[in-house]
Amino acid sequence: MEHIAFLGLGHMGAPMARRLLATGHPLTVWNRTAEKAGPLVAAGAGLAASPADAVRDADVVITMLAGPDALEGVAGAAAAALRPGVHWIEMSTVGPDAVHRLAARLSEGVTLVDAPVIGSTDKAASGALGILAGGDTAGVEHVLAHLGNVTRTGPLGSGAALKLVLNSAVISGIAVVAEALRLADALGLDGGTARTALASGPLAGVVARAHAEGVHFDATLALKDLDLATKTARLPVIEAASEHYRRVAEPGEDISRAAARIRTA
């Protein structure tokens, strides 16, 4: 089986790496904070001291990082250590520009796929993520299948682009639901009744995510996604949602907690 290097062991990366390790793939992991790799190392993964060390013997490289700056740093450290024939699967939410900058760094013979994911930590742990894959996926679909269901989106960068579209809609939608419930409070409506009514309509999925428990999407990363979107096009509604989150969100908390503050702010 292919030797996989997995770089980035945050809330999403760690359960994804664990899924791959459970399939029997030889796995080397790297994380900026090495202590986070402890449970995976205890389960049989190798721990690399640097991104270059992680990818040196890999057949497949997977990155699941916080954003474009983190990807740039890892790419700068790792690109020269890659062997010809390696497949690099970029699964972070970084936008298409960062994907194309990564592609420009890679030598001939290295295949890049952008494959960001839809779903939170629960889906990552169960292997039920939605995977939006741009580029030539032929050599890695069997690897991605361990993590979720693959939707091929088109050429390189298209997966990253579609992920921005979807995240912008959902994150902004959660802020809209919070404001709608704030309006219900101001009108003297029972909060449970208003929430049930919203959940019975076209916003059902957003209502569910606004009140989800046992999952995690860091509000700081949500803000990063909205910033990437609003730097790409003029998006007044999404800009307003971004300002809401910027005002009330606390780093490290799930966006549902930020939504609760929007409702009461």
Q: Is the separation of the CB atoms in 64 and 36 below 8 Å?
A: no
Q: What percent of the chain has pLDDT over 90?
A: 100
Per-residue pLDDT, 265: 85
Task: Kindly report the backbone phi and psi dihedral angles of residue 109, in degrees, each rounded to the nearest multiple of 5, phi listed first.
Answer: 100, -10
Average pLDDT for 17-40: 97
Choice among 36, 123, 163, 224 that is catalytic:
163
pLDDT 10s digits, 101-133 = 999 999 999 999 999 999 999 999 999 999 999
Q: Give the confidence band of 207 by pLDDT, cuts at 50, 70, 90.
A: very high
* Integer Cα distance of 167 and 40 in angstroms: 29
Q: Inform me whether the pLDDT recorded for 226 exceeds 90.
A: yes
Q: Is the separation of the CB atoms in 140 and 87 below 8 Å?
A: yes
Residue tagged 């090495």 (tokens): 34
Q: Is the separation of the CB atoms in 99 and 114 below 8 Å?
A: yes
Annotated active-site residue 123? The verdict is no
Average pLDDT for 259-263: 96
Q: Inform me whether the pLDDT recorded for 205 exceeds 90.
A: yes
* Residues paired with residue 28 on neighbouring β-strands, in sequence order: 5, 46
* Torsion of Cα atoms, 235 then 241 then 243 then 249, to 10°: -140
| Domains, the chain | 4-155 (3.40.50.720), 161-264 (1.10.1040.10)
Average pLDDT for 2-26: 97
Mean of per-residue pLDDT scores for the chain? 97
Q: Inform me whether the pLDDT recorded for 18 exceeds 90.
A: yes
Pairing mode of beta strands 4-7, 117-118? unpaired
Average pLDDT for 236-254: 96
Q: Which stretch of DSSP H or E encloses residue 29?
A: strand 27-30
Per-residue pLDDT, 120: 95
* Integer Cα distance of 48 and 223 in angstroms: 30
* Residues paired with residue 213 on neighbouring β-strands, in sequence order: none
SS3 90: strand
Q: Give the confidence band of 67 by pLDDT, cuts at 50, 70, 90.
A: very high
In Å, the largest CA–CA distance within the chain is: 65
Q: Inform me whether the pLDDT recorded for 165 exceeds 90.
A: yes
SS3 252: coil
* Integer Cα distance of 91 and 86 in angstroms: 16
One-letter amino acid identity for 117? V
Average pLDDT for 39-66: 98
Q: Which two tokens stand for residue 35?
A: 């202590």
One-letter amino acid identity for 207? V
Pairing mode of beta strands 87-90, 148-154? unpaired
Q: Which two tokens stand for residue 212?
A: 């989800």
Q: Inform me whether the pLDDT recorded for 86 exceeds 90.
A: yes
Pairing mode of beta strands 46-47, 27-30? parallel
